[in-house]
Amino acid sequence: MIAAPPTARSLSTPAVLLPGTAMIAITFGLARYGYGLLLPDMKAELGIGPSAAGLISSLGYVSYLLANAGVVPLTSWRGARVAVAAAASAAASGMAVVALAGSAWAVALGVTIAGAAAGMAFPPYADIVDRHVAPPRRAVVWSTISSGTGWGVALAGPVAILAGDQWRWAWASFVVIAVVVGIAATRLAPPREHAALRRAQLSPSWFLCPRSRPLLLSAVLVGAGSAVWWVFSVDAMQQAGMDTTATRVVYAVCGAACLLGSLSGYAFDRVGLRGGYLASTALLALSLGLLGAAAADLGAALVAAVLFGAFYAAVIAAHGVWSAEVFEQHPAAGLAAVSTALTVGTLVGPSLAGVVIDHGGHGVALVGATVATGLALPFCPPSERRRAALAEHRCTAAPVRR
């Protein structure tokens, strides 16, 4: 990438961390994962079956993929501020469509629009962190921003409890929050920094060399397994006999546990990225299996929620730190590649799970999610020996054109 001249103004760490965390909270915790929280009530009123529910969720991930692919050039051409504004606008408008939906088709449209918001939110902050945060603090800042999902989920649960069966009011509340956060984050985001800045043109093979392949395969598998929780966990507990308020408490606890992901940067510093990733992925898989085995037991569900929230956030943070190492010359494009791989998994996971639920129930779907997540364990950050071998590797990917 051609070096950019000094920025017009340098952002303080809080000016990066706070709006970044808040934007991830609304685009992921509300716009993306609010669907699974409120799905049981929407199903009852609009007649959405498990297969249709999985398909609607997958549509949101399709738009996520498209937005994720488009946001990197948008950030390059127009600056991070425009990309952040676009993400906030998509979140608010998509959730507004769901709030007013009178049919499953309208829900699908709203979820699709809202899904694009999450696709546009992460990559701009990869560049912002890279440009405005000192290297020693980047892992901690990035893991904190990643934990924004937890803040959103933790907020969504109490809002849904207060709304009761009035799911439209819950979505309307999410819209108001998205508008307020979006305006603030847009004002704080850096504008286009230099008209002459040009990004490298990247070939697909650049993302598939031995350095990046394990990272991207891990993201696909983790995405497939974790999406089953986000879409069907509340429905699984209610179908097993747990009352609505209790399931929403479990969901909020999961979000609160996601906040522990902000500590994962410190953990990675102590035990290493490889060790932290392996432990987090194993415990993430365990949480899915526990919910599948005991969805009717509130105590077991709460334990599963804490495990899932904490270690989902830790795995996502590990992917972000790992991506910064693999794609150090182009952090936004690298993170977009990881997000795309994660979304390929989340695109497939809910659709397959919906079909499995129709034929075998929620427990079988959660066992499948456990297996998919466990399969990500071999695809881990390299050991010191492997890292030394990769240092000698000359990637055969097509050259980067400027």
What is the tens place of the pLDDT at every residue in 274-291? 899 999 999 999 999 999
Q: Determine which of 210-224, 350-364, 365-379, 380-394 has the lowest per-residue pLDDT on average.
A: 380-394
Give the pLDDT confidence of 13-34 residue by residue, as tens digits: 788 889 999 999 999 889 988 8
% the chain with pLDDT above 70? 86
pLDDT, position 402: 40
Please give the average per-residue pLDDT across 138-153, as a whole number.
80
Q: For residue 105, give the 3-state DSSP assignment.
A: helix
64 compared with 200, residue with greater pLDDT: 64
CA atoms lying within 13 Å on the CB side of residue 62 = 12
Give the pLDDT confidence of 68-111 residue by residue, as tens digits: 778 777 877 777 888 899 999 999 999 999 999 989 999 999 99
d(Cα 317, Cα 183) in Å, to the nearest integer?
26
d(Cα 72, Cα 76) in Å, to the nearest integer?
6
Quote the mean pLDDT of the chain: 83
Residue 213 pLDDT more than 80? yes
Residue 382 pLDDT more than 60? yes
Q: Taking the domains of the chain in order of start, what are their residue ranges?
A: 13-392
CA atoms lying within 13 Å on the CB side of residue 338 = 27
Please give the average per-residue pLDDT across 133-145, as a whole number.
77
pLDDT, position 287: 96
Contact 191, 69 (CB under 8 A): no
pLDDT, position 116: 92
Superfamily of domain 13-392, CATH level 4: MFS general substrate transporter like domains (1.20.1250.20)
Q: For residue 108, give the 3-state DSSP assignment.
A: helix
Could you write out the three-class secondary structure of 193-236?
A: CCCCCCCCECCHHHHCCCCCHHHHHHHHHHHHHHHHHHHHHHHH
Please give the average per-residue pLDDT across 26-51, as a whole number.
87
Give the pLDDT confidence of 162-174 residue by residue, as tens digits: 888 889 999 999 9
Under the banding of pLDDT at 50, 70 and 90, the label for residue 179 is: very high
13 compared with 55, residue with greater pLDDT: 55
Residue 334's nearest CA partner among 127, 24, 88 is 127
**Distance between the two ends of the chain, CA-based, in angstroms?**
7
Residue 315 pLDDT more than 60? yes
CA-based Rg of the chain, rounded to a whole angstrom? 20
Under the banding of pLDDT at 50, 70 and 90, the label for residue 292 is: very high
In the DSSP assignment, the letter for residue 401 is: B
Contact 37, 157 (CB under 8 A): yes
d(Cα 107, Cα 100) in Å, to the nearest integer?
9
